[in-house]
Amino acid sequence: MDFALIMFIALLATGIIWAADHFIWAPVRGRTAAALQKAGKPEAVVDKVRHEPLIVEYARAFFPVILIVFLLRSFLVEPFRIPSGSMMPGLVAGDFILVNKYTYGLRLPVINRKVVEISAPGRGDVMVFRYPRDLSVNYIKRVIGLPGDHIVYRDKKLFINNLPMLQTPAGDYTYTESGDHMIFARILKEQLNGLEHTILHGEGQNPGVLEFNVPAGHYFMMGDNRDRSNDSRYWGMVPEANVVGRAFLIWFSWDYEKEGLLFRLGLGKGGVSWTRIGSSIQ
């Protein structure tokens, strides 16, 4: 079940219990306690009748907390965890990120319907969205194609509206996958109409020529780890209705190399990746 839906149900339940007690149950308890007191009953008996039930205490305590968290997650920022290496080298598995929920417009929680237009996703943005084939799953990729764009991916190079996106070699990159599987890749700096970001290319993999037209109200998404990303090249475009927000900050990071081959060889850092905490997402 979607976490926003769970929070909404909890908010609704605690709010109803608290309101019902305030307007119905508490006055009844008060009248009953007053009658018992007038009848000369012991104070302990009167206090027991006047005391609010445990479920009401919990509802009154949790309702404002749930309300604040629900509003923050729905309209300001929401935390996410990076589950895979599809956005390496910029984002790695174990990064915990914050996503701006209002930069692309305010949306009603749970139903994800936009009610206030602010701005649209821009080319090069790192965006979180609902996976078109399973709306309960959130994906994070980079916006490559905007509505109306013509995208060609040929020999691992991008062409947008017939213009090549410049790629400049920037070194080598090694990481582990599935614990012990060593991956060797090349780092390249790619220009997206003047916006620079880093990508990875593996060795010996060439998808040939892929060509796409981005329809109105949709976006073409790709992972920065180009050879190991499940993205729009394989399952299509992302509708505007699926947009969640723009990723902007790494607030915590855990190095999973501690569980892999590099760590056992004495080369992995392991544990908290302190140098990544607080990094902005480009």
> How are beta strands 77-81 and 106-108 bridged, if at all?
unpaired
Instruction: Look up 101 and say whether it is catalytic.
Output: no
pTM of the model: 0.86
> How are beta strands 95-100 and 113-116 bridged, if at all?
unpaired
Sign of the alpha-carbon dihedral angle for 110, 113, 119, 125:
positive
Instruction: Look up 114 and say whether it is catalytic.
Output: no
Q: Catalytic one among 38, 41, 84, 86?
A: 86
Q: Catalytic one among 74, 141, 232, 253?
A: 141
CA 94 to CA 177: how far, in whole Å? 13
How many C-beta atoms lie closer than 10 Å to residue 278's C-beta?
A: 11
pLDDT tens digits, one per residue of 233-275: 999 999 999 999 999 999 999 876 555 444 445 455 567 888 8
pLDDT tens digits, one per residue of 170-208: 999 988 776 567 888 999 999 998 889 999 998 767 778
pLDDT tens digits, one per residue of 62-108: 999 999 999 999 999 999 999 889 999 999 988 999 999 999 999 98
